[in-house]
Amino acid sequence: MSKLDTAEVATPAQLDELIEEATVDCHDEEEQVNGFFSVMEENLALPFMTPILGVDASVAAIEMDDYGRIKAVCERNGEQQRIDLLDLPLPSPPPTGVEWIVAYRRWLEGGDFVEEDEDEEE
């Protein structure tokens, strides 16, 4: 199992469209992360196998941690570990819906979240 090349998933323009879809009508970063979490829950084919530290592990679920980060729940031999999606190695070929993880990473790395101006709420 080899590591995924982002180009296998989507172009930057396609990722930007996914970011827009996940964050539409969101007013702050917390809502935007929840938007990504929702589309991943709906579209990401789970479980899938991926290489972690040289061994294959199963990504069994995704969950939100107490700090508003999306984590992959990885399992191997009955043990579980949570890995931030930013750090999760992705397999090639990719599972269905992995483009949402790649879009989430692009959004996180770009810090492209919209804070609603309090003056606009009036």
User: What contacts 9, CB < 8 A, 6 or more positions away?
Assistant: 15, 94, 98, 99, 102
CB 1 within 8 A of CB 56: yes
Per-residue pLDDT tens over the stretch 20-79: 999 999 999 999 999 999 999 999 999 999 999 999 999 999 999 999 999 999 999 999
For residue 62, the model assigns a pLDDT of 98
For residue 18, the model assigns a pLDDT of 96
Q: Dig out the tokens for 50 from the structure.
A: 């991926």
Answer whether 0.85 is exceeded by the pTM.
Answer: no
For residue 122, the model assigns a pLDDT of 41
Q: Report the length, in residues, of the chain.
A: 122
